[in-house]
Structure 1
Amino acid sequence: MGGGGKQTQQESSCGRGGGVFTWEEVQRHSHKGDQWLVIDRKVYNITDWVKRHPGGVRVISHYAGEDATDAFAAFHPEPDFVRKFLKPLLIGELATSEPNQDRDKNSVLTQAFRELREEVEREGLFRTQPLFFCLHLGHILLLEALAYLLIWVYGTGWLQTLLCAVIMATSQAQAGWLQHDFGHLSVFKKSRWNHLLHKFVIGHLKGASANWWNHRHFQHHAKPNIFSKDPDVNMLHTFVLGKTQPVEYGIKKIKYMPYNHQHQYFFLSESQIQTQVQMQISSQVSTICVPVQDLVWSMSYYLRYFTCYTPFYGVFGAVALISFVRFLESHWFVWVTQMNHIPMEIDHEKHEDWLTMQLKATCNIEQSLFNDWFSGHLNFQIEHHLFPTMPRHNYCRVAPLVRKVCEKHGVTYQEKSLWSGFRDVVSSLRESGDLWLDAYLHK
């Protein structure tokens, strides 16, 4: 029976919460306009709810027809509160003869990860230290002020301008990591303060939309490195990634770019990748789909910037300066975000358990004071993906626990130096390009 076909007697019990279903029945409801999912063996019909989902339509739809227990726990720091919204959507539960996991998900790893999460919760590693984030915000504001004072005091010579641009790019990059924190977790007990600070950092300090970021970035965490579900691996035909996509493009004789040289033009395309992100931000900020509040916050960034720098450089000079700052920041952003993912497995949906899926898609960069600061602690990408609502100052404490579980169950836990991370981005692009060329010429 398909998603729109005739319902069975069990399926007609929607809304009464008394149905008993098999995994096969649940999996049938994984299409647009007909979506079910399972959380803790409870079956929910989310068909009408997806459009009102605060995290966006797509992220919840990616789990239609499958078990979403671990994803639900990962994204909702207050699950008891969220379950109030789930209650009206409950249509039944799995039959007692059905296993806890759907498809071929590893039941041992699933249980091991859930026990790890319970241990982490007992250790209090999801509790935040507001002072840590306040100090980080303070150092960003100090950089912003320093850039302006440099020009105001020492003038607009080329050396002063270059130094100003570097300081501004550093501020922008660090603001990016901080808004990432506010977007994922509740730094303050009163969520309205967290919500306000997120909009201030991403809107007033970055010129972007908090709503847009939430809807895009949560998809990346829900299904990392999975084509059609993770927007971060949608390169709009500029690159081919992993080992599957290059062969598919080669067989179909798709050649939008000379992919066998992508590891070379990657160095010229880094700013283009970030520009693509900025263009998507701008296009969505300029539509009514983005809240007016986000639009106001974003415009406040540009108003502040041009008010401060137009008197020194004129309009065209100010535009040139911000373009150069974006260029510098884009290289920083791309290398930090891609070194943890591009060298890892990138493929189509395989419906794997949470631990396996996240470990295949991420790797860590060695800890050091510089690496922590340079990457906004995203050098602990494994821990961040397993526990996206965990404050970054606790990653170093949870990492040994994660490593222990991986060693016990034979799961690969990759950690490398910063230089190796950068090098592997290039080598993986070269390998993918060679796979494309071979398939393009010989298959």
Structure 2
Amino acid sequence: MTTTPARPTHTTAPDGQLEQRLRPAAFSDAMQVNKAFARTRRDTRRGVNRITSTENPERHWKPKRSGGEDPAAHLTIEQIEELGREMDAIRQRIIDSRGAADAAYIRRVIAVQRGLDMGGRLVLMVGSRNKAAWVLGTGALTVAKILENMEIGHNVLHGQWDWMRDPSIHSSTWEWDHASPAEAWKHSHNDLHHTYTNVIGRDNDLGFGIARVDKDQPWRPWMVWQPVLNAVNALTFEYSIALYDLELGRYQGKPLKAWKPAIPGLLGVARKVVRQVAKDYVVTPALSGPGWKSTLAATWTANLTRNLWSNGVILCGHFPEGVQTFSRASTVGETRGEWYLRQMLGSANISGSPLMHIMTGNLSHQIEHHCFPDLPSNRYAEVAVEVRDVFDRYGFDYVTGPMPVQLGSAWKKIFKYALPNGAWGELRERPVQSVAAGARWSVGQVLKSLGRKKKHSRR
């Protein structure tokens, strides 16, 4: 199996501490992400996710509980590994060609973002009670926040710009304008999501713990509310992600003392949230003097718009129709070519203009991002042409479409899988009978719950 040469960790900076700080984050690129598969002793003992050589003659795809055909059944093992080598070659070509133009790009985007942020806040401070100034300042601040989270923060924290050896644009030193602390986010996103992409029971990003988006995910009664929960999640996205990064689900139902390991993470999120709230909702409005209410409303609007936008982009990249999910067993002995296949088939793109691509953090090229998470985002459009050619030649569907179409497809899944398997089709065919049956079931659940509580109180 092709491996990544060790990246140099030295720097010409005279300060030894700077050298340590600039050490690239683990799992920052697609090659090293695979090493996380055997991180735990439990997985190593069970043989789960252990990477094997490409000479292994076994195809490791295994059907999910619901069955289904192998999406790569038309390829031989050798063809799949050749696909992996082609993808490696694309990645290496971009790595070898990174240079001054790429560095100038990210510095330019950062300069524009900071200019919009400062300019927007200044306009709001001096003229927030003027409608035109309010719209101008709010718009500038909104764009600045979207750029910072999507094209800058997300991609810097992926290590896309670590090769520049610039301490101000490095994954080990960057802290973004977001409620989630950078280190917590890098663990849940880089180490876990990008490792176990769309593996049911492994990738917590499959619904973020509040949505069922695949028929192989178990259904629970509370999931009938998941359209509402996901709407709330979109409105409060930065805070939802901050809590999600803590993986609090592992402590659910356990006694209070079992939550002790979660305390440092909770405190870290609390400190970050306090700083964000103070900056946006205390300091900036206070500097506006008499117009503080208008400035407060403007900042809230900017954050709300940023939350809705980033949530929409992420839904479009992971949940539309045509995106594949995988069983845990499929990752046992997964080869390099198979890993690429999972990234290619488990992601979806958004078509649109260059401006739209920048505003999505180039996550409109989600397929390319999942295959090459550490490549500079400004090169994804270039890479997409070659990756689409690989899809065509190897007989796979390249899932892409306009944002409204992809978003509508993702939300359709959220509604569909809020119900037990098969119930959505029945609801469409017999709406009155289905709603009546659902109402009877709901009443029965409530009565059962009340009965259990009454029995418990008697004890």
Which position in structure 1 is the counterpart of 2:85?
A: 114
CA positional deviation for 1:341: 0.7
CA positional deviation for 1:325: 3.2
- Out of 141, 144, 147, the position equivalent to 2:120 is 147
Which position in structure 2 is the counterpart of 1:325?
A: 302
Amino acid at match of 1:335: G
1:340-366 deviation line (CA, Å, top 9, x unaligned) = 111223454232611221122111112
Amino acid at match of 1:149: L
TM-score by length of 2: 0.65
Percent identical pairs in the alignment equals 16
Distance 1:369 1:167, change over 3 A: same
Amino acid at match of 2:319: I
- Out of 94, 98, 112, the position equivalent to 1:127 is 98
Question: What is the aligned residue count?
Answer: 356
State whether residues 67 and 101 of structure 1, in contact with CA within 8 Å, keep that contact through their aligned partners in structure 2.
no
State whether residues 160 and 375 of structure 2, in contact with CA within 8 Å, keep that contact through their aligned partners in structure 1.
no
Which position in structure 2 is the counterpart of 1:99?
A: 56
Q: In structure 1, what is the Cα distance between the partners aligned to 2:387 and 2:138?
A: 39
Structure 2: gaps (5+ residues): 4-24, 28-32, 63-75, 249-261, 425-433, 442-459
Which position in structure 1 is the counterpart of 2:361?
A: 376
Q: How does 1:224-373 map to 2 (within 5 A)?
A: 224-236=197-209, 238-245=210-217, 248-249=218-219, 254-258=220-224, 262-263=226-227, 266-280=230-244, 288=264, 304-305=279-280, 306-312=282-288, 322-343=299-320, 344-349=323-328, 350-351=330-331, 353-373=338-358
Q: How does 1:39-54 map to 2 (within 5 A)?
A: 54=26
Amino acid at match of 1:138: A
- Out of 365, 368, 382, the position equivalent to 1:397 is 382
Please, which moves more after superposition, 129-138 or 143-152?
Answer: 143-152
State whether residues 391 and 397 of structure 2, in contact with CA within 8 Å, keep that contact through their aligned partners in structure 1.
yes
Distance 1:278 1:291, change over 3 A: closer
State whether residues 187 and 194 of structure 1, in contact with CA within 8 Å, keep that contact through their aligned partners in structure 2.
no
Q: Please give the root-mean-square deviation of Cα atoms over the aligned residues, in Å.
A: 4.1
Kindly indicate whether residue 423 of structure 2 is the aligned counterpart of residue 438 of structure 1: yes
CA positional deviation for 1:336: 0.6
Amino acid at match of 2:366: Q
State whether residues 156 and 312 of structure 1, in contact with CA within 8 Å, keep that contact through their aligned partners in structure 2.
no
Distance 1:342 1:147, change over 3 A: same
CA positional deviation for 1:211: 0.6
Amino acid at match of 1:103: H
Q: In structure 1, what is the Cα distance between the partners aligned to 2:246 and 2:144?
A: 20
Name the one with the larger strand percent. 1
Q: In structure 2, what is the Cα distance between the partners aligned to 1:194 and 1:109?
A: 40
State whether residues 270 and 330 of structure 1, in contact with CA within 8 Å, keep that contact through their aligned partners in structure 2.
yes
Structure 1: gaps (5+ residues): 1-37, 41-52, 70-92
Q: In structure 1, what is the Cα distance between the partners aligned to 2:184 and 2:89?
A: 32
Which position in structure 1 is the counterpart of 2:109?
A: 136
Which position in structure 2 is the counterpart of 1:45?
A: none
Q: In structure 1, what is the Cα distance between the partners aligned to 2:110 and 2:172?
A: 11
Q: In structure 1, what is the Cα distance between the partners aligned to 2:270 and 2:232?
A: 31
Distance 1:54 1:121, change over 3 A: closer
Q: In structure 2, what is the Cα distance between the partners aligned to 1:420 and 1:61?
A: 38
Distance 1:361 1:302, change over 3 A: same
CA positional deviation for 1:381: 0.8
